[in-house]
Structures are given as C-alpha cells and as structure tokens.
Amino acid sequence: MTATAGGRIDPKASVAVRQPDDSSPGAALSRATAHLLSLQHADGWWKGDLETNVTMDAEDLLLRQFLGIRTEEQTRATAAWIRSQQRDDGTWATFHGGPPELSTTVEAYVALKLAGEDPGAPHMAAAAAYVRGAGGIAAARVFTRIWLALFGWWPWEQLPELPPELIFLPRWAPLNLYSFAQWARQTIVPLTVVSAHRPVRPAPFDLTELHTDPANPFPTRPLAPAASWDGLFQRLDRLMHHYHRYALRPLRRLAMQQAARWIIERQESDGCWGGIQPPAVYSLISLSLLGYSLDHPVMKAGIASFDGFTVHTEDGRRWMEACQSPVWDTCLATIALRDAGLPGDHPALVRATDWMLAEEITTRGDWAVKRPQLAPGGWAFEFQNDTYPDVDDTAEVVLALHRVAHPEPEKVDGAMRRAVEWTLGMQSRNGAWGAFDADNTSPLPNKLPFCDFGEVIDPPSADVTAHMVEMLAAVGLAHDPRCRRGISWLLRNQEADGSWFGRWGTNYIYGTMSVLPALVAAGIAVDHPAVRRAVRWLGMRQNEDGGWGEDLRSYRDPDAWSGRGESTASQTAWALMALLSAGERESAAVERGVQWLVGAQRPDGTWDEPQFTGTGFPWDFSINYHLYRLVFPVTALGRYVRDEPLGGGAA
C-alpha cells in the first residue's frame, strides 16, 4: 500500500514482500508509527480515503446529466472506475466480497450505458440478466427509482409521495422533520421539492432490457393488509398522491420557499451540505427546480464542492467519496501515536491539536431543536459541517486532547469543558447516547414507504455510549450520575453471547471493542461477569490464523456471521484492544493476535485491507475507511508493547 498525492492511501498498490528482519511487535510498531506520521498533512490533520460503493459514482454522472454539466472526461474516468468494480458475474456489491445488490447494479448499468457502453457487450448483458432475474427495476429501492424517474425511466405516480408541506409540521407531530435523523432530514427536505415538481428530463435511451416484463414494465405493488403498518402507510401514501393533484397552490409555494430557505441556511462554507455527498446532490436538484441558475452562488459553490469528494487514481479513473473523515481520522491518529509512545508534546501531536481546536463548533445546529437551552461545543466528522456536530467524534476528540501536552493548556481545557457539557446535554432519556440527536427514537419514520433504504433515525447505540463513558472517565467524571446511567445501559444491552452490537463499525467486534475499554476505564472490574462474557466471546471468535474478522452480513444474519469473517488488520486490532483492556495481555489469544498483525504487516509499515469494516447504515451502506488498517493496529500494538491497555482512548 502506498500513499498518493494528498496523503491518501492506495489500497490497490502492488504488494512487496518484507525481507526477514526484526519481526518483533516493537519493530512492527515502529514501522507502523513512522508510516502514520508520514501521512500527516502540513496543517496537522490526517485523512484516509472513505470508500463506499459505485452508486456514488453513478449518481454523480446522473446529477451532471440532469443539470447539463456532464463532461466527456468525467464520464470516461467515472465509467472506468465503475467498470473496474464489476464482478465476474456481471454484478456490483455494496462491499468487498458481498453478495450482488440489485439497486447498485441497476445504477451502475445505467451509468455505463450513459457513458456509451454497448448493451450487447458481455459485461453489460450479464448485468442486465442479473437485474431481470432479481425482479427488474420494479424491485429496486425507492432512491434508485427516483433517479430513474428524473429521466422518465420510471413513473413518478408509482413512487412514494413526499409533500413539501412536511416542513410545516410542528415538533409534536408524529412525523415531523426532526423525527428523522440528521442525514435523513437533509435528504428528505430537498426531495420534497423534487417530489412536488416531478421533473422529467429527456432520456438519451430506454431501459427496456432491465424490465422483467417489457409489456408491463411498471407493475403496481399489491396493498398490504390495512391493519398492518405497511398497509396503513401505503394507504396514507395514496392519500398523499391524491393531495398532490389538489394541493392548495399558495400553500405549496410557501412550503417550497420554506424548504429552499431551510436548504440554503444549511449550506456549509465549502458549498456542501452536512459534509456528505447525497444531500448535496438532492439539494442541487431541488434548487435548480426552484429556479436557481447554475451561475447562482449557492449552485456554483455546491457543484464546486464535489471536487473535494473526487479521488483520481494514477491510472486515470475517478471515484467519489460519500463523505470525508478528517476529524475522526485525526483524533484516532493522535490517540494511536500516544499509545505508540510519542510524547505528549511531540510536534505532530501539537499540530494535530491546533487543527482540532480550530475545528471546534461553537454555533447552534439542528440538535438545538430538542435541546434549546444547551450551549454549543463539539466536533463534526468532516472538514466543514457546523450544523451537525456529533457525540461520537466529540468524545474521541476529547480523549485525544486529554493526552496532548499543548503549550496553551487553558485553550485546550476550555474546548474540552465545552465539549463535555454539550455531550452530557445530548444524553437520551434512557441514559445512552445517539450520534447526532437526543431521543431520536420514533419507530414511525422507518415505516414510511419512502424509507426502504438505510436507517432514518438515530437511536442510542452501544459504541457511541461507550465512547462517552470512556471520555467521561478520562476527565474525572466516572462517578457522575449521568455516566453511571450510561454504564447501566451498556450492561443491560450486552448481547446474550457476551458481545455488543456495533452501530458505526462492523459489527459485534467493533461494539465489544468500544465497550470493554470504556467499562474498565469507568471502574468496572475485569472480573465482572459482563467483562468475562465478552472475553470468552472474543476468544471463541478468533480465527485459526490468529486474527479476527467480521463480515458485514452479521447485520442481516448474526447467528451465522457475528464475529466471523476473514481476518483483517483493523478488526484484529479491535479485538486486541478489548482483550488488553480486560487484563488479557498474557493470554494465548492476545499473543496469537499480535503475531498475526506482525506477520501480515507490509514492508512500509501498514496493512492491506480491502474488506469494509466501517458502517454508515447497518447492511445497507458500508464503508472502507482506508486509515483504519493503520491507525488501529498502531493503537493495539502500542498498548501491547508498552503494556498500557487503557491509555486514554479507544475508538
């Protein structure tokens, strides 16, 4: 693996064979530490590529086609990337080694056809055959069919209705805008405008070959029983379609004006929305429908922001990051380097601290809707995202700052104090923490026909709660009643087999790695029954080769996949971090895991990891964080070599 321009890590670089040399854990740690230090940007931050799946690339081309700005160079480079990700059976998956995925394959096929690929070519014919065999376009998810509707390949009448008047619903209404998670509401608001306009741009070709029955390409889905949630919301959706035809025009115009204002108010200084690509895509479409020209400053900035999400490979391909993770990567790298033995006043750590301090968010965002009296303070995941700081990043940043000897300690202390108060104020009623909002737990949004892809609410999770507990313990608040409530929630939510569910990482190994160090840091004894159950579970899940791995299919089928999969560097490190925190340094499991990491290390000090070990939406949207394969092994090896398992921060 090699670093590319801008400090990115190329996961597909050729693998060199390490010559026999010092193969001790300490030597492996030294090599990895040197490589991690070499990737720091001059401004102090770290950022690895955030790889998802080809729907990001296909939708980028479709957006440009819709807006009339698609270029041949972009099309050629993007198509080359999409083609490179196609498997031998003609399909595309959402993660490395995963099963074929219908909607992803549909969008990839359409993008390649848009790029001029011959539908009769073997790779295109194989993709089309899979789509037909999996139910055709009619079986694709709603978001895919919305993209197709923009070009007349699917009728708007057969898509769930999203009226823009939704923006007027008060907070006490069951399905108001703030009952959705932050990532969902950023998408839903612009899509209400799109749904109201129902635009159709002339399609450059048809998609007959993707229908199971070309004579009946748009079959009507049968209604579920009226007494079921599905049936209730299907009938409600029919009423909304009826309302679309007879909506009061002044009210609708006012709703769309309010939606436009809501969208524009949330545009970040870099032109993006929320630091993530999907809301930016739909915001640009909706604003263009509302009459904003491509020359308008909002539109120009939004389109230009995609340059920051674009990765250009050395062989001329082009792919899109769905998001970027500099704050997350920087705090994890800071923790890892401290665990590796760098002194707290090392220049690299001071630079990282200066950058993180400059990224502190001191303005109010959407979180304040439910916490209007809470003072701001915290960090977001991305370069620019002042509207949506999150508890997870904030907890980890505090853990990192806590361990750096900065020349201006009062400046660091002030930021940490504000962050602690803000995150404590974001605790949910059940004692745990979600990522972006407090008490975002209504089950109703997930029942909507529109919401057939990914999570649309942000309930508390074990990994975020654990990071909060560990952070509170680090700053001396382990015995604060709010921290103890978090600990009680974690103990109550341990799985029967001893693991914890991982919401933002794959999956039970990630959850268990998050919780065990937090519990021990907060004073739970290593011989506590919950700790011993988790240790036993990790021991049972260790692979024959000494490593650990977990396939993303554990979200769908935990009985078959929980804690099971090919050994990976990041997941092996997670298991080691958990076991080390539980006092297992001298165990055979830890020794074998460390030896796996040492043996799998590349000559340049990092590791290969094509597997996806990050989670956006459990199962539906998976992430390969390219820095995970380095930063977590540094943390685990550092804690092993230096015998300091708690060190002040587990990610």
Which residues are annotated as catalytic? 392
Beta bridge partners of 617: 621
* Residue 29 CA from chain centroid, whole number: 28
Dist CA 522 CA 317 (whole Å): 48
Dist CA 627 CA 217 (whole Å): 44
CA 112 vs CA 62, 85, 90, 123, 270: distances in Å: 11, 12, 12, 10, 30
Q: Please, are residues 185 and 178 in contact by the beta-carbon 8 Å criterion?
A: yes
Under the phi-then-psi rule, with left for phi > 0, alpha for psi from -120 to 50, and beta for the rest, what region is 529?
A: alpha
Burial 69-83 (b: 16+ CB within 10 A, else e): ebeeebbebbbbbbb
CA 445 vs CA 174, 232, 261, 642, 647: distances in Å: 9, 13, 23, 48, 40
Phi, psi of 431 (to 5 degrees): 95, -5
Dist CA 383 CA 326 (whole Å): 6
Q: Residue 552, SS3?
A: helix
The percent of the chain in helix, strand and coil, each rounded to the nearest 5, is 50, 5, 45
What lies within 8 Å, CB to CB, of 502 at 6+ separation is 461, 462, 463, 508, 509, 510, 511, 512, 514, 615
What lies within 8 Å, CB to CB, of 639 at 6+ separation is 339, 576, 577, 580, 645, 646, 647
Q: Please, are residues 303 and 69 in contact by the beta-carbon 8 Å criterion?
A: yes
CA end-to-end distance (rounded Å), the chain: 23
Dist CA 355 CA 397 (whole Å): 11
Phi, psi of 364 (to 5 degrees): -85, 140
Angle between helices 297-305 and 277-289 (to 10 degrees): 150
Phi, psi of 440 (to 5 degrees): -90, 75
- For the chain, state the CA radius of gyration: 25
